[in-house]
Structures are given as C-alpha cells and as structure tokens.
Amino acid sequence: MSGKRVVIIGGGIGGLFTGALLSREGYRVTVLEKNATAGGGLQTFTRGGLTFETGMHILGGLRHGGSVYKICNYLGIMDKIDIVDADHDCMDQIDYLDEGLTYRLPEGREAFGRYLAERFPDERQGISDYLDAIYRIADEVDFFYLRPSSGGFKTYSEEFTMAADRLIEKYIGDARLRELLAYMNPMYGGVRGVTPAYVNALINVLYIDGASRFAGGSSQLAAALCDVIAASGGEVLTGQEVTRLAIDSERRACGVFTASGGHFSGDIYVSAIHPSRLVDLADEGAFMRAYTRRMHSLPNTYSAFIVFVALKPDSFPYINHTCYCQDRFGSVWHLSEDDDRWPRGFMYMTPAERAQGPYATKMIINCLLPYSAVAQWRDTTLGHRGREYERWKERRAARVLNSMERLYSGFGDCVERVWTASPLTIRDYYNQPEGSLYGISKDCNNLMASQIPVWTKVPNLYLTGQNINLHGICGVPLTAMLTSQAIIGDNSLTEKINHYHESYG
C-alpha cells in the first residue's frame, strides 16, 4: 500500500476513475472539482421533476466481460449502478428523411454484418472485409482490451492511421452504404479526411459488441466512484476551482491553490482538465514555451446544441436504443456545419427510468454545432447572456423540433416543455475550450501532434481525461488505467483487474 498523497485537478470521469483506482491501491486521494457536483459528463440536472443526463447517454464496454465492466467490478461498484442493455435486435436506428429510409442495426458482429448484407447484397464481401478491418484495428490497441502493454514504441498498421472515410471507401463501393457505415460520427467528432480510422474502429467495435444505458441517470456512477475514494480515506471536494499549480525550484509540482482560498499539497499531482487550461494554471517555467504553445494550438472537436424535452404522459413510446436522423444521404460528414440546412442530422434518445414503462417521460436531442455559432456571446456567463441569445436558442430549438415532426407526425403534441443547451453551456459546464464535446481532435495527417502522453516534463505531474487517448465512457476509464499504471510504475494494475475478473467476474 503506497500511502502517498495524490491531488487530482478536475472531478470529471477521468479524475474520478483515476482517483478510485489509485485509492484502491492505497494512495490517499484528494479530488478538486470546480462545479458544485462532481462527475463531468456523468452529471445530471433536474427540470420539471425530470432528471436529465448531461452527456453520458450511451455506454459501451459495460456488458459482462467488457473492459469498463472489469474496471468497475474490480472497484466493487457494479452492484451500485443500474444498467440496462439496449435492444439486441436494434442497437441503433438510422433514418433518412428525404429518402424515407430506416435502418435498424442489430448488435453483434455477425448479426450486424448479416443485416447490412441483406440490405446491400452486392456489397456482401466488402461488408465482411470492412468488419474484419475495424476489429483488426481495434485489436492493435492493447489497453482497449486491458492487455498488459509491452512498453516502448509501437508500430501500427497502415489502416490504423489512415482517415476514417478512406478506410470505409477502401472496402465499400456503394455511396449510400459508405454513408451508413459512418453514422456514428456524432459519437466521436468525425471530420472527413482528418479523423483517424482507429477512432472510427474503436467506437464502432465498442457498440457493435453491445450497447447499454443507465436506468435512472448517469450520476449514480459518479456517486459510486466518490464512495470508493472516500472509503479509502480520500475526499472529493466540490466548489474548489484550481487557480494555480505551484512549481518548486526543482521543477516539481508542490501545491495547488483554489479560488476559495484553499491550498492542497501532495506527493503526486494529476490533471484531469484540458491541457491548455493546465498550462495556464502552472507557474512560469513549469513547461517549455513550445509545449505551452502546442497545447494552446491543438484543435478541439466541435460542440453541440442540445434539446431536452419533457414529454406528456403516455404520449410517446419509450425507445430502448439510440436513434440517428439525417435529412438526406450525403450529410454525414457535414453534420457540424452551420447554415440554412442546419440541423442536417442529429442523435436522439429516450433515457430509461428505474421502473421504465412502455412510454417515455423525456427525450434528449443532440445536434452538432460549431462554437462559431455562439462566438458573439463568448464573453458572457451562464444566466447572463441576454435576451437575443435566448431568442437565438428558441429559434434553434424550433428547427430541431420541426425535424422531429417530419420524423414523427404529431410529435409536437407530445411535447410538454423544452430546455436547451448551447456550445457556451457545454464550455462553462465542462470547462472545455469552445465547448468541445470530445476533447482534442485527432488528425491522421499529423497523428503525433495530437497525441498527448500521460507523463509530463514535471516529474510528479500526470495527465488523464478525455483529451488523452480516447474519449467517452470506455476511453476515459481506460486512460485512467494508463495514468494510474504510470504512477504505480508497472502493469500490475491491469494484471490485478484481469485476475479479479477471472476469479470473481
């Protein structure tokens, strides 16, 4: 048992998972979170008596034997979170409004491929080869499957680093099928010619293998992780916005200061916030100027406009899978563009209640949108953005609801009340530059420039969170594993988790 003190800046998913894993290994952890509630994308809020998730709607890796399942089971929290499987025969539904076409994709590699081959029989071999390719690419990533890493420089295949759209085009000739196979773009910030194939592969494999969702809201996972930290003598302190990271004469982190006047010190420090925010907090001399410039210049993924809908009782059916809608074929790589056609598409879902019946109580509609759409209000704060901003949100919400009306005739009659969030809301809520949904954008054309290791030049300072490696409910906990192992110093944590699953899973 270490007994070393660890201070973690940021109580989002990355900070909490890293804190819980280190607590389990005997470290004394203090997590500092600027918001009133910890959890980041796991946070929920209540409006009109309904609890809405802010970000973590679709779960991969939480089926029995999945990577995140293994981590949560090792932490002893699987029995504290209420998880339900998405429909096995339709994990995702994709609608194309202009063409009047609907695709209902089943889970499981074989069923997924068989369904697409039935709809596109001339592409049967290409579909099989494409699925082989994405599973082969995913298998190149040891940490995705919680395999111990051999360390050192790893060489990846040519397909691993090509653009996601090029990978699809390599195997698929039919233009519509290419579009369909890229439907998960809203899940990873995909950009044509830029997003690496490995991001597309990992996300698709994760959900093809089985999607889940929370019943009763995502904050239950945040609470369970906080309990793990507290049970080991640690603490998660909210309302503690870090304003300075102190660096001593030996260029080691020696303390953090908060806006409320707090001072916290430890042996080890972990940053779970955006790297550009971190370099701004650190004392001068902590990082080379070139590193600081690089952190500020890294491109961020796009943001979103989100509509939260309270539905009238017994008016709209509960849908136990995620739904995607596009106005027409040819839109999938343009969903974040802001023009007269916005929204070209969106993702929507009816979150599950703990005692879910046949009707939904609420809906969340997520429409991609660039930060530039709200840049004129960039200097405003939550609740003080002005009447014109509110009118702008009302107009945007009306366009989204009009698209839902095209999809479900009479949908407007099911709506009781609507709330909205813009890229500014996401920016201020998650402390993410430009309201970036998925952190730093990965670029296949300059992959090394967008890769940030968990180590820093400050020897007792480490990084974690969605900006490091992969985002999302699977990527962030797995990055927390990498950060924790870097601190511990070997692969023992991976071995412990796998051994625990084999013995008690």
pLDDT, tens only, 281-291:
999 989 999 99
Count the neighbouring beta carbons within 10 Å of the beta carbon of residue 98: 12
Q: How many residues does the chain have?
A: 505
Mean pLDDT value across residues 459-480: 93
* Res. 204: pLDDT tops 70: yes
- Residues 304 and 57: their CA atoms lie apart, in Å, by 14
pLDDT-derived band at 469, boundaries 50, 70, 90 = confident
What's the chain's average pLDDT? 95
- Topology adopted by domain 5-82+217-299+449-504: FAD/NAD(P)-binding domain (3.50.50)
Q: What is the pLDDT of residue 150?
A: 62
Average the pLDDT over each of 18-27, 152-161, 453-462 and give the range with the smallest value. Answer: 152-161
Q: 340 and 373 in contact (C-beta within 8 Å)?
A: no
User: So what's the pLDDT on residue 50?
Assistant: 94
Residue 237 pairs with which residues in a beta bridge?
A: 32
Please give the C-alpha separations between residue 292 and each of 94, 242, 283, 298, 497, in angstroms, as whole numbers.
42, 18, 12, 10, 36
How do residues 163-176 score in pLDDT, each as one tens digit?
999 999 999 999 99
pLDDT in the model for residue 55: 87
Mean pLDDT of 322-351: 96
Distance CA 429, CA 425 (A): 6
The percentage of the chain sitting over the pLDDT mark of 70, rounded to a whole number, equals 99
Residues 83-115: tens digit of each pLDDT: 999 999 999 999 999 999 999 999 999 999 999
Among all chains, which residue has been given the structure tokens 């042996």?
Answer: 267
Q: Is the pLDDT of residue 61 over 90?
A: yes
Mean pLDDT, rounded, for 488-499: 91
pLDDT tens figures, 107-148: 999 999 999 999 999 999 999 999 999 999 999 999 899 998
Q: What is the pLDDT of residue 153?
A: 56
Lowest mean pLDDT among 299-308, 446-455, 488-497: 446-455
Residue from 336, 431, 417, 421 nearest 385 by CA: 421
Residue 225: is its pLDDT beyond 70? yes
pLDDT at 451: 81
Q: Mean pLDDT highest for which of 130-134, 433-437, 442-446, 470-474?
A: 130-134
How confident is residue 320, by pLDDT bands cut at 50, 70 and 90? very high
CA distance 415 to 413: 6
The pLDDT value recorded for residue 1 is 54
Residue pair 264/298 in contact (Cβ under 8 Å)? The answer is no
Q: Flag whether pLDDT at 264 surpasses 70.
A: yes
Per-residue pLDDT band for 461 (boundaries 50, 70, 90) equals: very high
Q: Is the pLDDT of residue 9 over 60?
A: yes
**pLDDT tops 70 at residue 151:** no
Tokens of 428: 């201020």
Q: Where are the domains of the chain?
A: 5-82+217-299+449-504, 108-209, 302-437
Angle at 342 between CA 103 and CA 346, to 5 degrees: 35
pLDDT at residue 157, rounded to an integer: 94
> What is the arithmetic mean of pLDDT over 298-305?
93
Which value, to the nearest 10 degrees, does the dihedral of the CA atoms of residues 200, 145, 476, 452 take?
Answer: -70
Token duo for residue 11? 């109580």
- Say whether pLDDT at 179 is over 60: yes
The pLDDT of residue 5 is: 97
